Amino acid sequence: MRRQLGLALLILLLAFGLRMAYLQGRALWYDEAFAVLYASLSPERMVYGTVTPVQGAGAADVHPLLYYFLLHGWMRLVGRSPLAVRFLSVGLGLVTVALLWRLAAWCFDRRTGLVVGLLAAVNPFHVAYSQEARMYALLGLAAVTAAYGLMRALQGAGEQGDRRRLIIGHWSLFIDHWPWWVLYAVGAALTLYAHNLGALVLLALNLLAVARRRWWCRLPALALADLAVLALFGPWLVGVLPGQFGFVRRAYWLQRPGAGDLINTLIAFHLGLPLPDCLLPLALALAMAWLVLLVYRVARIHSRAIWFLWLAWGPVALMFTVSQVQPVYLLRALLPAGLLYLVAWSWLLAQGSLPRPLLVSLLVLTLVVTVMALGHHYTYARFPCPPFDQAATYLREHVQEGDGVVHSNKLTFFPMHYYAPYLPGSFVADPPGSGSDTLALPTQEALGLFPTPDVATATAGRERVWFVIFDRAVEEYRGCHPHLEWLGDHYGLHTLERFNDLQVRLYVRGHRPEAPVLDCPLPK
């Protein structure tokens, strides 16, 4: 018992250490900066900026407000430094590791629980979102809670030979296990309030419940629990969700997924993304090997691990199918599926009876790639998360009175505004109706931050203009980037500073550089 407790503490310390590493040193990127700025508002302003109809139909934002409300209260206690705002996700991720451990130990045995605890502790996919000031760590914890509650509630339903439940006594299934049904209902409601796409995990859970033997015994209790979930989520479901769906249909940046997205999902579940290009072939080979071995052993042994295979890949299949009609395939929203996949993977390692040489070889290679993947995650500082803090410091030190700071789009403005809110900054609006046009007017009004329609308006009356743009934004244009073309026609480029792939340019009216910078490709 003491040994088990000691191992548990060591694994939780490992999980904590990996989630705390580089937490303060990495700059916040657009999504995190938006979350912090939005959560800094009053609850009333957040509600207004989210649910207010846009253009007569559709809500202003696509995310539920639970995480923003939690972050709002959290920041009132600990502040809004990068370490403070991200620590909320660290705590949520750590609890998720412990809960996965408990789920696997209950469903299989202590050894499997120990293995899944270790897998979850070091899994790069979960580590990454346990370090991000966004709602995905909350989504993972809520979905795992719902899965744990439902599986415990269903234990013995129609499988223990209790015939009194087969006709009218099956309501005792709810009465006998009501704490677990309550846990499921609360976890499911929190899953929906964390992210709308959490509904796909809950759908997979319900399909699992009715696919098992004597499903009719469970149906009344399951229906009652789902009604409780609908009651808890009802206000958002009726009043806001249709508008959010209209927002996605009107304009959103996601594209219809293909085979490449499924491959990325497979790699992410095992080793996380992004990875260095040199690691991708090995990462894919390892992920395929583990999945093939898992499916083979589950089919041979007929293990409960098949439940977790379904809970992992069922939501993937559902999201992929829905996205052929309306693209909603978002890899990070599949974090709960990735976590439940770890339970099946842990069963393979603990009870799959793999040949020892094969098991050791795969584990060593997986450990090496995992270490490299974590290192890449900690040190990655390019699009969309370059060192915004360094760029903001540079501007604070060099911007003079009367200068203007203009951002090519909101992706660079929001992080820089977080780090340097008093700089005279503005950003150019996204093309109306484009996939990137996701910052609706009510959200702008709630934040008090509005884009300018074009570069000419943003630079009006300025003799010196600091312009911030990503390399990627320049490369996406086959010809000249229109912002740079306009600035080149009306100003002269005086200084160009780079912060990895983030450009900070100083344009001065009337300045003619000795060595012009070619912002447009040479004709072939």
137 and 243 co-located in one domain: yes
Count the helices and strands in the chain (H runs, E runs). Answer: 24, 5
Residue in 375, 456, 388, 462 with CA at minimum distance from that of residue 418? 388
User: What is the rounded average pLDDT of the residues 334-351?
Assistant: 97
- The model's confidence at residue 517, banded by pLDDT at 50, 70 and 90, is low
223 and 172 co-located in one domain: yes
pLDDT tens per residue, range 358-383: 999 999 999 999 999 999 999 999 99
β-bridge partners, 467: 406, 505
Residue 354 is assigned to a structural domain of this protein: yes
149 and 237 co-located in one domain: yes
| Beta strand ranges found along 368-487 (DSSP E) | 404-407, 425-427, 464-470
Listed residues 337, 357, 379: the one ending a domain: 379
Q: How large a percentage of the chain has pLDDT more than 90?
A: 74
358 and 392 co-located in one domain: no
Amino acid sitting at position 82 = P
Domain that holds residue 432: 388-508
For residue 452, the SS3 value is strand
| Alpha-helical runs (H) found in 108-168 | 110-122, 124-129, 136-153
β-bridge partners, 242: none
Alpha carbon distance 490, 462 (integer Å): 11
Q: How far is CA 203 from CA 11, 144, 207, in A?
A: 32, 14, 6
Residue 32 is assigned to a structural domain of this protein: no
CATH number of 489's domain: 3.40.50
276 and 190 co-located in one domain: yes
pLDDT tens per residue, range 129-178: 999 999 999 999 999 999 999 999 887 544 444 444 444 445 555 666 78
User: 464-470 and 425-427 as β-strands: parallel, antiparallel, unpaired?
Assistant: unpaired
pLDDT of residue 56: 52
Alpha carbon distance 245, 261 (integer Å): 22
328 and 397 co-located in one domain: no
Kindly give, in sequence order, each residue whose CB lies less than 8 Å from that of residue 197, ignoring residues fewer than 6 positions away: 319, 328, 330, 333
Determine the length of the chain.
Answer: 524
pLDDT tens per residue, range 43-86: 999 999 988 887 654 555 778 999 999 999 999 999 999 999 99
Residue 69 is assigned to a structural domain of this protein: no
Residue 68 is assigned to a structural domain of this protein: no
Rg (CA), the chain: 25
Amino acid sitting at position 443 = T
pLDDT of residue 169: 46
Residue 352 is assigned to a structural domain of this protein: yes
On average, the pLDDT of the chain sits at 89
129 and 257 co-located in one domain: yes
Residue 148 is assigned to a structural domain of this protein: yes
- The distance in angstroms from the start CA to the end CA of the chain is 73
Listed residues 379, 411, 434: the one ending a domain: 379
160 and 214 co-located in one domain: yes
| Model confidence, pTM | 0.93
Number of domains in the chain: 2
For residue 159, the SS3 value is coil
pLDDT tens per residue, range 387-400: 999 999 999 999 99
β-bridge partners, 465: 404, 507
Q: Give me the residue label for tokens 């003619």.
A: 512
Residue 237 clears pLDDT 80, i.e. is over it: no
Kindly give, in sequence order, each residue whose CB lies less than 8 Å from that of residue 408, ignoring residues fewer than 6 positions away: 427, 428, 467, 468, 469, 470, 473, 481, 483
pLDDT of residue 257: 94
Listed residues 336, 357, 379: the one ending a domain: 379
417 and 274 co-located in one domain: no
15 and 105 co-located in one domain: yes
Residue 12 is assigned to a structural domain of this protein: yes
Q: How far is CA 260 from CA 193, 265, 334, in A?
A: 29, 9, 15
Residue 520 is assigned to a structural domain of this protein: no
453 and 362 co-located in one domain: no
186 and 242 co-located in one domain: yes
Q: Would you tell me the crossing angle of helices 82-107 and 335-351 to the nearest 10 degrees? A: 40
pLDDT of residue 117: 97
pLDDT tens per residue, range 74-87: 999 999 999 999 99
